[in-house]
């Protein structure tokens, strides 16, 4: 077996320090499929930018609890908070978005406690709120627009939500827009909005019929709850389309850099490929690809095949159990590294001009500033 035959082709190196140091870079968006390291990369780049003197803010989505705590993120109040422990002259702020919590808070704010409890435990609300995929993506974009307009930051680093597909970040806000503009929603909105406005008379008439049918189907109480929920939605998302379009333009601006994160695995690399192609179609500026959690081949002098053969030999003779185990481990690591190389090959051959940075798999999860600093160093140390 020639497990290093798929040696990685040479591609341009992604120089992330050049990107975060460049005063013209105002927004970095870290995207990619689920679980690949988007939050970690975003936080690490934010910390590194701050420690290199910039005033940076990281917009995270659902960071792991310990990581959130280490960045001082204990409350979901949609406001950037200063991160303690940053070295040097720069500044780092961080905030986190949690859509489910935000929805619950809207309901709590719009209803008395008993009614709020009824709604929150209402299975209808639960399935509705969880099927609004796209709200998180929308909120991330909306918040990005707000932060950018505030002009308070040199650099905004955006983490993207844990969707299965990386493309959801670009598609979901539009999908949500279509939903909010949809007929049923407009009908449900009508009683809340009507307030004597004649334009809504027609809708109200229509609503009467639909409401009659829905009341039979759902019961008057559930329907009222649903209306309350929908008008709460409108309070948050009113003016949706115009703002989403503005933010979309912001993403196309030259001061934006998309960093696509992938694990060296088939699905993640394929997703990264789609995303890179989509960014080109949308004329959105791609900085490059981060391949995260890469396993390096150990001492390549001993191939996996020879290592396995030697282990088998020792095992059949019943000798040197520990040595056999080490040889097996070595073979496994060599095979893993070779497989990871192969999984990257398709992307690299399809996109030979996209700059790439690789970050090794560390032995521990990244849950504090020291860990983020280390990831930042690894991101920058490309050769």
Ligand X SMILES: Nc1ncnc2c1ncn2[C@@H]1O[C@H](COP(=O)(O)OP(=O)(O)OP(=O)(O)O)[C@@H](O)[C@H]1O
Instruction: Choose among Mg ion, ligand X, none what residue 35 binds, the Cβ cut-off being 5 to 8 Å by kind.
Output: ligand X
Which residue lies nearer to Mg ion by CB, 39 or 227? Answer: 39
Which residue lies nearer to ligand X by CB, 30 or 327? Answer: 30
CA distance 143 to 139: 6
Which residue lies nearer to ligand X by CB, 34 or 332? Answer: 34
Which residues 6+ apart lie within 8 Å of 230 measured at CB? Answer: 185, 188, 189, 192
Which residue lies nearer to Mg ion by CB, 83 or 232? Answer: 83
Which positions from 37 through 96 interact with Mg ion, judged by CB under 5 A?
38-39
Contact region with Mg ion (CB under 5 A), list: 33-41, 65-73, 198-206, 215-223: 33-41
**163 makes contact with Mg ion (CB under 5 A):** no
Instruction: Choose among Mg ion, ligand X, none what residue 64 binds, the Cβ cut-off being 5 to 8 Å by kind.
Output: ligand X
Instruction: Choose among ligand X, Mg ion, none what residue 191 binds, the Cβ cut-off being 5 to 8 Å by kind.
Output: none
Give contact residues for ligand X (rule: CB under 6 A): 34-40, 62, 64, 162, 292-293, 359, 361-362, 365-366
Least distance in angstroms from the C-beta of 97 to ligand X: 11
Contact region with Mg ion (CB under 5 A), list: 13-21, 34-42, 75-83, 117-125: 34-42
Which residue lies nearer to ligand X by CB, 230 or 262? Answer: 262
Least distance in angstroms from the C-beta of 275 to ligand X: 13
Which residue lies nearer to ligand X by CB, 245 or 365? Answer: 365
Residue in this structure with the two tokens 């993506």, named with its chain if needed: 137
Instruction: Choose among ligand X, Mg ion, none what residue 48 binds, the Cβ cut-off being 5 to 8 Å by kind.
Output: none
* C-alpha pair distances (Å), 326 with each of 301, 304, 320: 15, 12, 10
Which residue lies nearer to ligand X by CB, 64 or 218? Answer: 64
Least distance in angstroms from the C-beta of 159 to Mg ion: 6
* C-alpha pair distances (Å), 300 with each of 268, 304, 309, 313, 336: 26, 9, 16, 20, 13
Residue in this structure with the two tokens 């097996």, named with its chain if needed: 328
Instruction: Choose among Mg ion, ligand X, none what residue 34 binds, the Cβ cut-off being 5 to 8 Å by kind.
Output: ligand X
Sheet holding 81-82, edge to edge: 81-82, 91-97, 55-61, 155-159, 27-31, 256-262, 286-294, 356-360
Instruction: Choose among ligand X, Mg ion, none what residue 37 binds, the Cβ cut-off being 5 to 8 Å by kind.
Output: ligand X
Least distance in angstroms from the C-beta of 277 to ligand X: 20
Least distance in angstroms from the C-beta of 36 to ligand X: 5
Q: How many CB atoms lie within 10 A of CB 339?
A: 16
CA distance 364 to 233: 40
Binding site for Mg ion (CB under 5 A): 38-39
């Amino acid at each position: 077996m020639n497990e290093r035959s798929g040696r990685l082709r040479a591609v341009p190196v992604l120089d992330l320090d050049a990107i975060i140091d460049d005063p013209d870079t105002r927004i970095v968006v870290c995207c990619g499929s689920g679980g690949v390291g988007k939050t970690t990369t975003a936080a690490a780049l934010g910390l590194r930018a701050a420690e290199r003197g910039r005033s940076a803010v990281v917009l995270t989505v659902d960071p792991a609890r310990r990581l959130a705590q280490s960045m001082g993120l204990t409350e979901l109040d949609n406001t950037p908070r200063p991160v303690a422990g940053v070295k040097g002259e720069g500044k780092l702020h961080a905030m986190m978005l949690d859509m489910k919590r935000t929805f619950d808070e809207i309901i709590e704010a719009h209803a008395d406690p008993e009614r709020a409890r009824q709604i929150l435990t209402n299975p209808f609300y639960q399935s509705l709120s969880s099927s609004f995929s796209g709200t998180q993506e929308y909120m991330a974009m909306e918040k990005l627009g707000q932060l950018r307009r505030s002009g308070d930051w040199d650099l905004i680093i955006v983490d993207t939500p844990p969707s299965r597909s990386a493309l959801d970040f670009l598609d979901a806000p539009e999908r949500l827009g279509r939903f909010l503009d949809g007929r049923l929603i407009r009908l449900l909105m009508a009683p809340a909005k009507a307030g004597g406005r004649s334009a809504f008379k027609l809708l109200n008439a229509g609503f009467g019929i639909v409401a009659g049918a829905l009341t039979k189907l759902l019961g008057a109480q559930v329907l009222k709850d649903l209306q309350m929920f929908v008008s709460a939605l409108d309070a948050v998302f009113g003016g949706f389309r115009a703002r989403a379009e503005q933010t979309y333009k912001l993403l196309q601006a030259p001061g934006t850099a998309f960093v696509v994160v992938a694990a060296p695995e088939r699905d993640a690399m394929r997703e990264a490929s789609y995303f890179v192609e989509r960014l080109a179609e949308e004329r959105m500026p791609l900085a490059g690809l981060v391949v995260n959690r890469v396993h390096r081949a150990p001492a390549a002098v001993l191939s996996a095949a020879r290592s396995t053969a030697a282990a088998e030999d020792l095992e059949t003779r019943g000798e040197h159990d520990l040595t056999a185990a080490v040889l097996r481990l070595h073979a496994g690591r060599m095979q893993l590294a070779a497989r990871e190389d192969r999984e990257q090959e398709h992307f690299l051959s399809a996109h030979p001009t996209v700059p790439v940075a690789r970050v090794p798999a560390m032995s521990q999860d990244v849950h504090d500033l020291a860990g983020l600093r280390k990831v930042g160093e690894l991101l920058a140390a490309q050769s």
